[in-house]
Structure 1
């Protein structure tokens, strides 16, 4: 079931024109979640649209946002759906935090890389 959900998340992110989408598998390396998805948006409006659509998608599977605050206007929206955590960044914010280095340094396995720029 998780594979189906993850594929739908990636597909929805691509439909919403998010780019440079990376999906990591962390089982055994993190107590927070098994899957982390990182993506880039062009604007705050695009982040808001992605947030709303992904929340709607996850509710279809009875997975609800565990951090419902709307405090994401700094260019980074983190959505915690339990075992799946989704990050949507503006490019400059993503470059600053560079989560990819953290994930790869911790031994997370890269499962998906859309490499769209």
Structure 2
């Protein structure tokens, strides 16, 4: 398998504006389709968060269960300064010039709204308090490892960050 998760048909999907299939490996080794999304979202956004030292990055894909977004990306920032620098970097990287950038900042929870993708940035206390992944327990949830690989988390294997379980203990796949 290829290392990158973004699979395209002939040519580049970004040039044609077509969706690409993002594949990942579940904890039991089976392959599954994460979602069909434009190339920039949400896998590229999740990896961008990882590059900006955001921890515990998850992609939740509730589909029709969620009326306001197709994908939620959840991550933990170290402090408000870290959050602000991540949000500024996202503004520069993922918004078109002159296009409004929708966001909300709170003391422990901030979000960025990109239409079909909403990014939630938490301080660790906020992540444990709100547990957004519990709002959509049957939805696919993908964890991005520190090495940049996605792994599917089964509903029974989901644990909130810092709840005593090492919820990021995912096996490194052979090569996604």
Q: What is the TM-score with the length of structure 1 in the denominator? A: 0.81
Greater alpha carbon shift after TM alignment, 89-98 vs 54-63: 54-63
| Unaligned segments of structure 2, at least 5 residues | 1-18, 20-36, 146-167, 170-176
Contact 1:51 1:77 in 2 (8 A): no
2-structure distance, mates of 1:62, 1:18: 27
Q: Which of 1, 7, 17 pairs up with 2:53?
A: 17
Aligned: 1:47 with 2:83: yes
Runs of 4+ off more than 3 Å: 60-64
Counterpart residue number, 1:102: 135
Unpaired runs of at least 5, structure 1: none
Cα RMSD between the aligned structures? Answer: 2.3
Provide closer, same or farther for how the CA distance between residues 81 and 74 of structure 1 changes in structure 2, counting only shifts above 3 A: same
- Distance of aligned partners of 1:20 and 1:61 in 2 relative to their CA distance in 1, 3 Å threshold: farther
Q: How many residues align?
A: 111
Per the alignment, in what secondary structure is the counterpart of residue 82 of structure 1?
coil
TM-score (norm. length: structure 2): 0.56
Q: Aligned-pair distance for 1:61?
A: 9.5
1:74 aligns with 2:107: yes
Which one has a larger percent helix, Structure 1 or Structure 2? Answer: 1
CA shift for structure 1 position 66: 3.1
Contact 1:19/1:41 (8 A) holds in 2: yes
